[in-house]
Amino acid sequence: MDLKLNDRVVLVTGGAKGIGEAIVRTLAAEGASPVIIDRDLEAGSRLYNEIPGSQLVIVDLSCAENCETAVQNAIEKHHRVDALVNNAGVNDKVGLEHGSPQEYIASLERNLLHYYNMAHYALPQLKKSRGCIVNIASKTAVTGQGGTSGYASAKGAILALTREWAAELLDYGIRVNSIVPAEVMTPLYQQWLHTFPDPQRKLQTILGKIPLQKRMTEPAEIAAMVAFLISPRAGHVTGQHLFVDGGYVHLDRALT
């Protein structure tokens, strides 16, 4: 299927590694022009050098001014923005018991505020292109996890903003959707596994709870959904929360 993404300019936050990297690679393969927005210069440069036609913007998105700079850099090069993929974030384990009000605010800065800021600064261009926004959320927003108040509440807000923006931007023809991953093998996930005495045993326990094929979701599977959602093929899809998780969140636990 031709997704008709040739030359579409797509901003991807957290685009240098993990799910973001998979999104960038998939978009490039579909003919789009991905803008890799990340704070990791080494990883970003490596990916940029592998993806012809991409753009690299190294910036920390935790302040609004940097979000504006990232968008403006893309506009200066491409003179347009067709889509925004809000993806950057980290499960930083800022909990209610083991955390502080200051740490909680910092967690929201890492995981939530830049979603709004990037959308705000990209909006004038998205109006012109009748573009779209895809927000990457997390199953923690609907299941809870324990010990991660900052991340979970940020992802819950992202689901709410997805519906809110979809409603607000109807008149501009801008579609807004979110993708909700559960267990996806990324570098950050591998780091988390290695905090356990027996990482392989922990992994096997997790796999046993994933109904479909007892395996982790691949970053490329998240990326494929992103590519579809920003394409004209999904032209009447907006305000949706799409779970790409092998049935992890919604299927009966008796199955596992």
Q: Tell me which residues are annotated as active site.
A: 151
CA angle 159, 228, 256 (to 5 degrees): 65
Q: Which among 116, 134, 123, 130 has a CA at the least distance from the CA of 238?
A: 134
Q: Which among 70, 9, 5, 77 has a CA at the least distance from the CA of 44?
A: 70
Question: What is the amino acid identity at position 186?
Answer: T
Integer-rounded Cα radius of gyration of the chain: 18
- The residues, any chain, with a CB within 8 Å of residue 46's CB and separated by 6 or more, are 16
190 vs 105: CA distance, rounded Å: 26
